[in-house]
Amino acid sequence: MLSQKFLVEDKVAKIALAFAVLLLLLGGLFGFLQVLSRAPGMPQLVTADLYYAGLTLHGVALAVLWTAFFIVALAVFVLTRELGLNMNGPLLLGGAVLAILGSLMGAVAILTGQASVLYTFYPPLNASPLFFIGVAIVVIGTWLISAAIIEVILRWRRQNPGKEIPLAAYGVLTTIIIWLMATPPVALIVLLYSIPMSLFGAPVDVLEWRLWFWYFGHPLVYFWLVPTITIWYTLLPKVLGTEVYSKTMAKVVFVLFILASVPVGLHHQFVDPGVHPVYKYLHTVLTYMVAVPSFLTAFNVIATLEKAGRMRGGKGLFGWVTALPWGKDPVFTGITFAIILFGIAGFSGVVNASFNINYMVHNTSWVVGHLHLTVGGGITLTFIATTFLLMPLLFGRDYIAKKLLIAIPTLWFVGQLIFSFAYHLSGIYGVPRRTFLGEAPYLQTPDAFTYVAQWAPLMQIGAVGGVIFAIAGALFVLLTFASIAKGPRIQPSGGELKISPEVGPATFLDRVGLIVLIALVIIVISYSLPVLEIYGRGLSPAPPYWPSGAAAG
Amino acid sequence: MSHGSAIHKEEKVWAAVVAAMVAVFLAALAYAAWVTGLQVPGSDVELVNPKTVLQELKPGVREVAPGRYEVTLVGRMFSWIPAEITLKDPVEVKFRLTSIDVIHGFQIVGTNVNVMVFPGYVAEITWRVPQNYEGRYLMVCNEYCGIGHQNMYGAINIVRTK
């Protein structure tokens, strides 16, 4: 019986999934309050202290933790079913316990007002050591889980010489490789700079710190995205009764993500002083390289949908679109809406990546619109729709009120479209991101300044969209927890689902070690120049301050 | 080759289209930066001590030639020093910016001026002011800098006499 074979793995997956949904609730609640707080004329429910503490929690709980814990649940479930092997129990359990412990430490520090530093925690803004130590413990926890994942894949390859890695497992492997390449520098700057700053008031060089933070910060995006497109390549065709249009191109895409997702961090620092424009342009080129696999994915996914639509009798140029089960299957509808949202985000992403065009939108609400369409739209909606399948398999309980499920992706989609339209446009008008606009003095007299009169109406439209997808999120959390507790029993928990296309012989795309080696060479090339510049010039550390404005040194 | 393991012809065509598009975009960005001068900041930088920067840098406006200004601005939690600037018939303005405490972001709403402001570093950004720019523009802090971040702003007045 399978449910007996993966007892420990399924326990970890269940805990990770339930904790992820809890974090979605916590982070989403503050998102709901913020979208109102940013819109003059809407109900102002928070103070500045709570706004920024809540904004920190919103970013940490949603962008970092909800995604990471969902990915752990997905990865463990997919690998055990695709490979048919047990994973290293102590590594998995130990990693999960550390990750949850670190998350709780961070959450306590934020909610008690001791860490209002946002999820980027740029020094020299100071926070409680509890927050920074929590961050370090989460990272260590993820490394243990990563080790368990790498170990089971290596063991499977030893037992299956000459076979290609199943597509879904390849996606998981790509995710973990990106995570392991990206996280060591951020762990180091937390250990060497943020913790000593917090404990002893030690000064920090902000440019050096930001270089290594964004070395991690952009691949973090691909850590979310690669499992998401793994779902698009495997689970989406599965629920439509077909296979991905091109399995080979899907793997090529994963290889390109391994090669180009890390050496691009400077595109977050286009307007930083102290980094030469030529090095910024080099990272622009590499960022454009990493847009290529996204374009290839768009083609492959749409071709897969066309195949499924034609199987259902769709004729002519666009007949296959209407032949798909829109509004009937919540998993299909959710994932496809997610793909559309992500596609739109691709356009604003290219603007962000575009070097000198970036200063039109840098640190404006445009970026908020982009980030919500990507991690909140394409990625989170994919994860929500996947939970519709994954939760019943893991917990052995079906969803209650199944007819309501379709409302979740529909409201989420509509809300995201309204929100991101308003936020993108207001960014062009110069609305700053991360700002408690409800109390901003310059919005008390908006007509005094050029452009500022356009802000409030757009922020109000954004609030309407935000509230709509907050309702969708609340419905999702409510139905998921109610179903885990009281849903009708369907079968013993630990169900089975194979999602990869049939496994063929290994090709050069399975020489993962070589691909990682090439990726490391590209990283060294792209980062050696700014590293030589910044360290060669000498550092200029600055002493810490509390978010209140008081000196902390 | 088994079914599904080849790369389809349509995909190769699409990949070529994408590659061509990327090349055109990158060429356009480089042209804008190094030929027309729409460059990102970063080539000029100076290290300073945030503790003594107010005395050393002397924030304020200097007209170095007719219509050509050099503006030195210092960010602090939660205001710009100076918070009110007036420029008469500006053609080109060089901003020099730093912070005495944490990271700030300097943006003149409605313009290309958008640069990070770090303690320990002096950032430089040059603004070529379009002829039709006149009136009062908001200088906003666009990087979170603490609990009073929303209170951090200033104004730049552009006066035209000809």
Parent domain of B60? 46-159
Domain match, B57 and B16 both: no
Residues of chain B with pLDDT under 50: 1-4
Q: Is B114 on the interface with A (CB under 8 A)?
A: yes
* Substitution target from B24, B57, B98, B138 for chain A, most A beta carbons within 10 A: B138
**Cβ within 8 Å, pair B14-A299:** yes
Percentage of chain A surpassing pLDDT 70?
Answer: 99
Tell me, yes or no, whether B56 and B76 share the same domain.
yes
Q: Report chain B residues whose CB lies below 8 A from the CB of A450.
A: 109-110, 135-138
Choose, out of B84, B96, B99, B101, the residue to mutate when testing the contact with A (most A CBs < 10 Å).
B101
User: B77 and B139: one domain?
Assistant: yes
- Would you call B147 and A291 a contact, using CB atoms and an 8 Å cutoff? no
Residue A506 to chain B, least CA–CA distance (Å): 11
Please report which residue ranges of A240-329 form alpha helices under DSSP H: 247-260, 277-311, 319-322
Q: What is the pLDDT of residue A325?
A: 94
Q: Which residues of B touch A434 (CB under 8 A)?
A: 143-144, 149
How far apart are alpha carbons B75 and B81 in whole angstroms? 6
pLDDT tens digits, A125-163? 999 999 999 999 999 999 999 999 999 999 999 999 999
For residues B68 and B30, state if they share a domain: no
List chain A residues with CB under 8 Å of B127: none
φ/ψ of residue B47, rounded to 5: -90, 140
Confidence of residue A1 (pLDDT cuts 50, 70, 90): very low
* pLDDT(A553) > 80: no
Q: Do B33 and A277 touch (CB under 8 A)?
A: yes
Mean pLDDT, chain A, rounded, equals 96
| Average pLDDT for A383-387 | 98
A167 chain-B contacts, CB cut-off 8 A: none
Average pLDDT over residues A64-89: 97
* Residue among A243, A245, A275 whose CB faces B42 most closely: A275
Give the whole-angstrom CA distance, residue A210 versus residue A195: 15
Same domain, yes or no, for B33 and B52?
Answer: no
Q: What is residue A415's three-state secondary structure?
A: helix
Could you tell me if A452 lies within 8 Å of chain B, comparing CB atoms? yes
Q: What is the CATH number of the domain that holds B151?
A: 2.60.40.420
Cβ-Cβ contacts under 8 Å for A530 (sequence gap 6 or more)? A211, A266, A275, A276, A279
B150 and B90 share one domain:
yes
Length of chain A (residues): 553
- Nearest CA to CA, how far is A126 from chain B (Å)? 9
Q: Give residues with Cβ within 8 angstroms of A451, minimum separation 6.
A: A429, A430, B109, B110, B137, B138
Grade residue A444 by pLDDT with cuts at 50, 70 and 90: very high
The verdict on B88 and B131 lying in the same domain is yes
Contact A431, A364 (CB under 8 A): yes
Tokens of A216: 């991690």
Residue B47 touches chain A, beta carbons under 8 Å: yes
Q: Note whether A388 and A326 are within 8 A (CB).
A: no
Q: Tell me the nearest-neighbour CA distance from A277 into chain B, angstroms.
A: 6
The mean pLDDT of A433-437, rounded to a whole number, is: 96
Q: Look at chain B and count its residues.
A: 162
Q: Does the structure's ipTM exceed the value 0.85?
A: yes
Interface residue A509 vs chain B (CB under 8 A)? no
Q: Strands, DSSP E only, in A490-543?
A: none
**CB within 8 Å: B22 and A356:** no
**Domain count within chain B:** 2
Within an 8 Å CB–CB cutoff, is residue B31 touching chain A? no
Same structural domain, B114 and B59:
yes
Q: Is A503 at the interface with chain B, CB within 8 A? A: no
Among B7, B18, B147, the residue with its CB nearest the CB of A116 is: B147
pLDDT at A375 over 50: yes
Q: What is the pTM of this model?
A: 0.96
Q: What pLDDT is attached to residue A146?
A: 98
Based on the fold, state whether residues B80 and B121 are members of the same structural domain.
Answer: yes
CA torsion through residues B93, B83, A359, B56, sign: positive
**Model confidence over A454-486: pLDDT tens digits?**
999 999 999 999 999 999 999 999 999 999 999
Say if residue A2's pLDDT is above 80: no
Whether B6 has its CB under 8 Å from any CB of chain A: the answer is yes
Please give the pLDDT value at position B162.
81
Query: What is the full DSSP assignment across B90-123?
Result: -SEEEEEEEESSS-EEEEETTSS-EEEE-BTEEE
Confidence at residue B5, expressed as pLDDT on a 0 to 100 scale? 59
Q: Are B33 and B50 members of one domain?
A: no
Out of A228-232, A393-397, A496-500, A540-544, which region has the weakest mean confidence (pLDDT)? Answer: A496-500
Confidence check: pLDDT of A391 > 50 = yes
The minimal CB distance from B39 to the residues A277, A448, A502 is found for: A277
- In this structure, the answer to whether residues B24 and B88 fall within a common structural domain is no
Q: Are residues B140 and B89 in the same domain?
A: yes
- Beta strands B104-108 and B114-117 are antiparallel
Contact B18 A296 (CB under 8 A): yes
Per-residue confidence (pLDDT) for residue A11, from 0 to 100: 96
Contact A540 B18 (CB under 8 A): no
